[in-house]
Amino acid sequence: MGTKIYDCISRIAERIIENKDYLTDLDREIGDADHGVNMARGFQAVLEKVPRDSDDVGAVLKKTGMTLLSTVGGASGPLYGTAFMEAGKVAAGKEALTTGDVPAIMNAVIEGIQKRGKAVRGEKTMLDALIPALEAYTEQLEAGSDLSGAMDAACAAARDGVEFTKTIRATKGRASYLGDRSIGHQDPGATSATLIMEAVRDFLRG
Amino acid sequence: MVGIVIVSHSCKIAEGVCDLALQMASDYKKMIPAGGLEDGSLGTDPMRILDAVRSANDGDGVAIFVDLGSGIMSAETAIDLLDGEFPARIADAPLVEGAVVAVIEAATGASLEEVIQAAENARGEEKL
């Protein structure tokens, strides 16, 4: 057998853990300085608890979500926990994912985060990276691009989304207490969402 | 009897609110704290909240009190995970005052709706 879904999850976990201090520093500017610490703790637990040899993509994604729920500790726990669990529902029973599964999964992730966080695009959250990423991915696929090209476009759009969060005011979460003082800072959640997408892209590149 | 769960980022806050509220009804056994993470650090954990909600349920449902931020989102996640097993609701009420009022109501056999309503009424109480 070739690669396992665990290998992809572990790439995500490593990327988050490597960026622990960076994410926490971003969160110190406009939040409670715990995003990196919380995310790293959650993904460390994911590395330990998610089965390495399973071919059941849906089950592994669900287990990742459940683990994040109970180990992250901040709002990103329910948000990313819900995101991975929703992704797991789309991938239920699958042993492999196709180019066409990606938008369905991203859509489920976005809807899960919107519902859990009661947020929409433009509120300086992870949605400001994820929604443009899905749009760019879909656009590229329709234009005849392959998986690699579509993922590159999605990651570039997510990065642009992170830049965009610098220009807007936070209306959700701890940063909303800062009002206009949140302008000028990039959103830690949009940043971690982008890091996750980039880790998946790099994993797919091999 | 309606159960009560106290959710806080801090284990000490959750336990302290329970101690304080139970002064009003020392025989009431269905008030469960769900504070902090399993390792004792600050944070909220939907799975820990879910366990507390199940322990607090006596068949008549559970009223949940939350502190702030992710406490609310984690409690909502716990309710979703409960998947309608029994009624559980978050009270839109101040944590301490709401919990005190709720214990008194729950201990006298009020319904979940009545417990939530009484706690939410505590929101309008002026301190000065």
**CATH, residue A182:** 1.25.40.340
Residue pointed to by tokens 């991203």 = A106
Of A70, A71, A75, the CB nearest to B70: A75
| Other CB atoms within 10 Å distance of the CB of residue A98 | 9
* B124: confidence class by pLDDT, cuts 50, 70, 90: confident
Q: How far apart are the first and last CA of chain B?
A: 34
Q: Does A77 touch chain B (CB under 8 A)?
A: yes
Give the structural domain span for B106.
3-124
Nearest CB to B70: which of A66, A78, A82? A78
| CA A170 vs CA A74, A106, A125, A127, A131: distances in Å | 17, 23, 8, 12, 17
- The answer to whether the beta carbons of residues B9 and B72 sit under 8 Å apart is no
CA-nearest residue of chain B to A66?
A: B47
Q: Token pair of A149, please?
A: 């090209």
Tens digits of per-residue pLDDT, A63-84? Answer: 999 999 999 998 999 999 999 9
Domain with residue B78: its CATH number is 3.40.50.510
**What does the DSSP assignment read for chain B?**
--EEEEEESSHHHHHHHHHHHHTT-TT---EEEEES-TTS-SS--HHHHHHHHHHH-SSS-EEEEE-STHHHHHHHHHHHHHTTSS-EEE--S-HHHHHHHHHHHHHTT--HHHHHHHHHHGGG----
Report the domain count for chain B. 1
Instruction: Compute the CA torsion angle B69, B73, B75, B78 (nearest 10 deg).
Output: -150
Report pTM. Answer: 0.92
Is B9 assigned a catalytic role? Answer: yes
pLDDT digits (tens, 9 = 90+) for B41-85: 999 999 999 999 999 999 999 999 999 889 999 999 999 999 999
ipTM of the complex: 0.85
A130-158 exposure pattern, b = at least 16 Cβ within 10 A, e = fewer = bbbbbebbbebbeeebebeebbbbbbebb
The total number of structural domains in chain A stands at 1
Spatial separation of the C-alpha atoms in residues A153 and A142, rounded to whole Å: 12
Separation in Å, CA of A145 to nearest CA in chain B: 37
Q: What is the mean pLDDT of chain A?
A: 95
The residue segments making up the domain with residue A158 are: 5-205
Cα–Cα–Cα angle for B38, B43, B46, nearest 5°?
70
